[in-house]
Structure 1
Amino acid sequence: MIGIVIPAHNEERHISACLASIQRAIAHPALAHQQVQLLVVLDACSDETATRVSAMGVATLEVSVRNVGKARALGAERLLEVGAQWLAFTDADTVVPADWLVRQIGFGADAVCGTVEVDSWSEYGESVRSRYLELYQFTENHRHIHGANLGLSADAYRNAGGFQHLVAHEDVQLVADLERIGARIVWTATNPVVTSARRDYKCRGGFGEYLASLVAEGTREHSPAHAPIG
């Protein structure tokens, strides 16, 4: 069985598109005889996220921890309890490709770390887009880690100790723990997801804050204190 976990805190704007993409991935012909369970962990939601998830017939787990690491961990625990052998993780503001699950499993690895692409740069502009593309490695054997595009076997997850209850970088810590136990990790750019570049990001220290840091970096570079001399 494949288990898919999505943590969500007030994601009414994005959750429907996310779930629709995952349902397409679940319906892939190569998974015709594979049991798949999708679980949205509703973390202290006060908007219409729960209503929209319910309307799409997706199972939920309601918690109030305001902690993405713990939300991911609680979701994983629930799916492991019902027999999941592979765990896939993404975010509520992310859209996955139709072959997302098939490709993760097809690598035959203990874990798969995938890349992310940005849906639109309209809120940031060309300078931030250029800086992002300059720094990001869309190559095999990259070293990017995203909770929005991560899959691993149940055994590897358990042996690494699972997600720590961190408010940020829980994905980085898990991968570090996987490396510590000698897990075989595939770092691939061939299975990217598309995530939001919105400015109203939910997670401190996450992808949204990273994009905001590129804006701040560009501002510093163009300030009088950083102007070229001569």
Structure 2
Amino acid sequence: MIGILIPAHNEEDWLDDCLCAALRAGDHPLLAGEPVEILVVLDSCTDRSAHIVSQYPVLALSIDARNVGQARALGAQQLLERGARWISCSDADSRVAEDWLVAQLGLGMDAVCGTVTVERWHESFDEATQIRYHRDYQACEGHRHIHGANLGVSAQAYVRAGGFEPLPCDEDVQLVRQLERCGASIAWSHRPQVITSARLDSRARGGFGDYLRHLAQTE
């Protein structure tokens, strides 16, 4: 079984698109019918997120941690207990490509770090900010970006590395560093595609949204 792990904290505006995309990815014909289970970890949600998730054929886990690292760790543990051989991580404000899982698994590695494409730039991000972003971002093979919105890892490598740590941000970076220390094979690839938002109300302090905000404030 392949598991898709999506943490969510008050994501009612994004979850429909996110889950529709994940379900399409899980139904790709090149997966040859292998079961795909999608788990949304609802962390301290006070909006309609839980109701939206309940309308889809996915799993839900409700916690009250307000901690994305803990949300990913608990979600990964549940997927492992349900028999996942591979865990693909994304975010609730992102949409994975239809061949996302196929692209990750096709690389034949212990883990895959993919890139993200920003969609619908917020009005606060002027043209100069967008130019700076595209100048610095390596949307290519061999990049060195780490995104929780586009990360895949085999069950064996995940367990060997010790799993996600309960960090308020950079839990994805920490896991990849642990995988490197364990000698895991890692693909830094542009093949698995994910579209993500450029929103300013980012959920994790120090995460991708804060990076974009800092970029917008840079003269």
Give the TM-score taking structure 1 as reference length.
0.93
Alignment correspondent of 1:193: 194
- 2:45 is aligned with what amino acid? C
Give RMSD over aligned pairs: 0.8
Structure 1 residue 27 displacement after superposition: 1.0
Structure 1 residue 107 displacement after superposition: 0.8
Is this contact kept in 1: 2:95–2:196, CA < 8 A? yes
1:10-89 alignment to 2 at 5 Å? 10-89=10-89
Corresponding residue SS for 2:116: strand
- Alignment partners' CA distance in 1, 2:97 and 2:193: 7
Corresponding residue SS for 1:118: strand
- 1:27 is aligned with what amino acid? D
- Alignment partners' CA distance in 1, 2:108 and 2:210: 33
- Alignment partners' CA distance in 2, 1:157 and 1:122: 35
- Alignment partners' CA distance in 2, 1:31 and 1:183: 24
Is this contact kept in 1: 2:9–2:42, CA < 8 A? yes
In structure 1, stretches of 5+ residues that fail to align are: 219-230
- Alignment partners' CA distance in 2, 1:108 and 1:184: 9
1:1-230 alignment to 2 at 5 Å? 1-123=1-123, 124-218=125-219
Structure 1 residue 190 displacement after superposition: 2.0
- 2:176 is aligned with what amino acid? V
Please identify runs of 4+ aligned residues in structure 1 that moved more than 3 A.
none
- 1:202 is aligned with what amino acid? R
Structure 1 residue 31 displacement after superposition: 1.8
Is this contact kept in 1: 2:126–2:216, CA < 8 A? no
- 1:108 is aligned with what amino acid? G
Alignment correspondent of 1:227: none
- Alignment partners' CA distance in 2, 1:26 and 1:45: 25
Alignment correspondent of 1:222: none
- Alignment partners' CA distance in 1, 2:129 and 2:54: 37
- 2:154 is aligned with what amino acid? S
- Alignment partners' CA distance in 2, 1:92 and 1:181: 29
- Alignment partners' CA distance in 1, 2:6 and 2:186: 21
- 1:172 is aligned with what amino acid? V
Give the TM-score taking structure 2 as reference length.
0.98
- 1:12 is aligned with what amino acid? E
Structure 1 residue 10 displacement after superposition: 0.2
Higher alpha-carbon Rg: 1
Structure 1 residue 178 displacement after superposition: 0.3
In structure 2, stretches of 5+ residues that fail to align are: none
Corresponding residue SS for 2:60: strand
Corresponding residue SS for 2:120: coil
- 2:84 is aligned with what amino acid? A
Corresponding residue SS for 2:6: strand
Please give the per-residue CA displacement for 1:193-228, whole angstroms capped at 9, x wherever unaligned.
10000111111011100000001212xxxxxxxxxx
Corresponding residue SS for 1:196: strand
Corresponding residue SS for 1:190: coil
Percent identity of the aligned residues?
56
- 2:109 is aligned with what amino acid? A
